Structure 1
Amino acid sequence: MKSKIIYCLNFLWTSFIAFSFPICFGWIFLDITGHSKGYSYDLGSEKDVSIMLGCIELLIWLALSFPSNIYVFRKTLSKGKAYLLIPIVLYITLAVICVMITHGGWTSYAKEVFNI
């Protein structure tokens, strides 16, 4: 019973990480590339600080996401290879839902993050 509760909590955390992935990716990407205040604004001497902040944010995000992802995927894989598709599809679905809800679609997301 205890292992099921731990699995459920890790699955919920992984779902939250999957949903927030596009937001975190955009934020970290813009910081690391030095465009944290947008593409039309020149950071100048603040660019080094933005890049360092982006690296720290990336490390924090990886530390928060990888342990639960590894736990969920490993436990699900032990049930069978066919069951491994469930968390993968759920991860992708939640990320797509986040892009649709928060950014209004792929074109808006690409314009905001990648300046396309």
Structure 2
Amino acid sequence: MIKKVIYCLNFIWTSFIAFSFPICFEMIFLCISGHSKGYGYDLGSEKDISVMFGFIGSLIWLALAVPSNIYVFRKTLSKGKRYILIPIILYIALALACVIITYGGWTNYAKEVFNI
């Protein structure tokens, strides 16, 4: 019973990480590329600090995301190879749902993040 509870909590955490992935990616990408205050603002000497914050943010995100993802994928794989698609599809669907809800679609997200 306790293993099912741990699996359920890890699955919920993985779902939260999947949903927040586009927002975290945006913040990390903009910090590392030196545009943390937007594309119209020149950071100047603050660019080094911005890159450092982006690197630290990526390490924090990896530390929060990777262990639960590995646990969920291993436990799901032990139930059968055909079940491994469930967490992958859910991860992609939740990330797309976040893009649609927070930015209004992929074109707006690409415009905000990549300045296209």
| TM-score bracket for this pair, using the shorter chain length | over 0.9
- The equivalences for 1:85-104 within 5 A come to 85-104=85-104
Instruction: Mark the runs of 5 or more structure 2 residues left unpaired by the alignment.
Output: none
Offset at residue 84 of structure 1 (A): 0.2
Counterpart of 1:30 in structure 2 is: 30
Deviation at 1:114, TM superposition (A): 0.3
Residue pairs, 1:42-53, within 5 angstroms = 42-53=42-53
Tell me the amino acid that sits aligned with residue 47 of structure 1: K
- Misfit runs of 4+, over 3 Å: none
Amino acid at match of 2:6: I
Q: Mark the runs of 5 or more structure 1 residues left unpaired by the alignment.
A: none
The alignment yields a C-alpha RMSD, in angstroms, of 0.3
CA distance in 1, matches of 2:34, 2:67: 29
Q: For 2:108 and 2:38, how far apart are their aligned partners in 1?
A: 14
Note the alpha carbon deviations across 1:50-89, whole angstroms, 9 max, x for none: 0000000000000000000000000000001100000000
Q: TM-score, normalised by structure 2?
A: 0.99
Q: Are residue 71 (structure 1) and residue 103 (structure 2) matched?
A: no
| Aligned counterparts of 1:50 and 1:103: Cα–Cα separation in 2 | 23
Kindly indicate whether residue 19 of structure 2 is the aligned counterpart of residue 19 of structure 1.
Answer: yes
Mapped to 1, the partners of 2:81 and 2:28 lie a distance apart of: 33
- Report the Cα offset of residue 14 of structure 1: 0.1
Q: TM-score, normalised by structure 1?
A: 0.99
Q: Which residue of 2 aligns with 1:106?
A: 106
The residue matched to 2:38 in structure 1 has which SS?
coil
